[in-house]
Copies of this chain bind each other. A is one copy, B any other.
Amino acid sequence: MTAISPAADKAATRETSIAIAEARARARLRRRHALVIGLRLAILVIFLGLWELGADYNIIDPFFFASPSGIFEQIWSWITEGTSQGPLWLQIYVTLEETFLGFVIGALGGIAAGIILGRNRLLADVFSIYIKIANSVPRVVLGSVFIIALGLGMASKVALAVVMVFFVVFANAFQGVREADRAMIANAQILGASPFQITRTVIIPSAMSWILASLHVSFGFALVGAVVGEFLGAKQGMGLLISTAQGAFNANGVFAAMIILAVMALVVEFIITRFENYVVKWRPAPFNEQGA
């Protein structure tokens, strides 16, 4: 006969039941993840299936709207045989480089301008009207102006991507700065922070979710800017690929290029989300999702 103290017994049952509860919670998470992936795939499959069927029965005219199988063949031929402008990866690389440069410059510019104007009332009052004006300029027109000013090389595409990105990021950074909690700013000031320190340690962290929200949408915009730039004149890039395909009535080519663009956007999106999760890991989970 072994004697077990009731307290130890109690503690042991508690530990077991917690372990069970936690295992159950983990299983729930896994199931949910599987559900999400499953639903996403289901939607994709249904969408592509309907499209293909529609194309087969000519409800959706594949001459204009392509068909999934045709698109797939096109992508495959680009991968295996290359495009008329050279290998596919080179086109992707060129566009990605322009997009990326434009995105970085536009985002940094937008953030900087947003913070400076958001922090300085007078500058905001004076300059925001000009930013509004600049934002109403049609980008295609701007595209031609850039081509004249910067030439047909990479610079003009980057510039176009920059102006696509800048305004969105600026608007959010500006508002994010203004939304920063006044008690927190006061606290930092009293704790001894210089205006620059306040900007760095209070304003930017509190505007961060604003800025990140704009980055999510603006990478897509940068891509659009670069492609439009290539449309207006280029020797390489996805935009040229689309333009050629359009000219040759190759709807499959147009859509194939768009799908490649989408994949590029998703990859970058994934990176941004990673970064976001890292940056805002301090954030409270909504109620009901936090207990283990």
Which residues of chain A have a CB within 8 Å of any CB of chain B?
Answer: 32, 35-36, 39-40, 43, 64-65, 122, 125-127, 129-130, 132-133, 135-141, 144-145, 148-149, 167-168, 170-172, 174-175, 179, 182, 185-186, 209-210, 212-214, 216-217, 219-221, 223-224, 227-228, 231, 239, 242, 246, 254, 258, 261-262, 264-266, 269, 284, 286-287
Query: Besides A139-B228, A141-B258, 11 other CB < 8 A contacts?
Result: A36-B125, A36-B126, A40-B126, A137-B262, A138-B231, A140-B227, A141-B242, A171-B216, A175-B212, A182-B286, A186-B287
The answer for the CA separation of A131 and B255 in the assembled complex, in Å, is 17
Q: Is the CB of A141 within 8 A of B254?
A: yes
Chain B residues within an 8 Å CB radius of A174: 213
Chain B residues within an 8 Å CB radius of A129: 40, 266
Q: Can you name 24 A-B pairs with beta carbons within 8 Å?
A: A32-B122, A36-B126, A39-B122, A64-B149, A65-B145, A129-B266, A132-B265, A135-B217, A135-B220, A135-B221, A136-B264, A137-B261, A138-B223, A138-B239, A138-B261, A140-B227, A141-B227, A144-B246, A171-B214, A172-B213, A175-B212, A185-B286, A185-B287, A210-B210
The answer for the CA separation of A40 and B227 in the assembled complex, in Å, is 35
Chain B residues within an 8 Å CB radius of A136: 219-220, 223-224, 258, 261-262, 264-266
The answer for the CA separation of A280 and B107 in the assembled complex, in Å, is 27
Assuming the A-B contacts A132-B220, A144-B246, are A138 and B286 also in contact, with contact meaning beta carbons closer than 8 angstroms in the complex?
no
Closest CB of chain B to A266's CB: distance in Å? 6
Closest CB of chain B to A20's CB: distance in Å? 25
Instruction: Pick from B127, B135, B221, B239: contact of A265, CB below 8 A.
Output: B135
The answer for the CA separation of A148 and B61 in the assembled complex, in Å, is 11
Chain B residues within an 8 Å CB radius of A64: 145, 148-149
Residue of B nearest to A224 (CB): B138
Assuming the A-B contacts A136-B261, A141-B258, A172-B213, are A122 and B227 also in contact, with contact meaning beta carbons closer than 8 angstroms in the complex?
no
Q: Is the CB of A182 within 8 A of B284?
A: yes
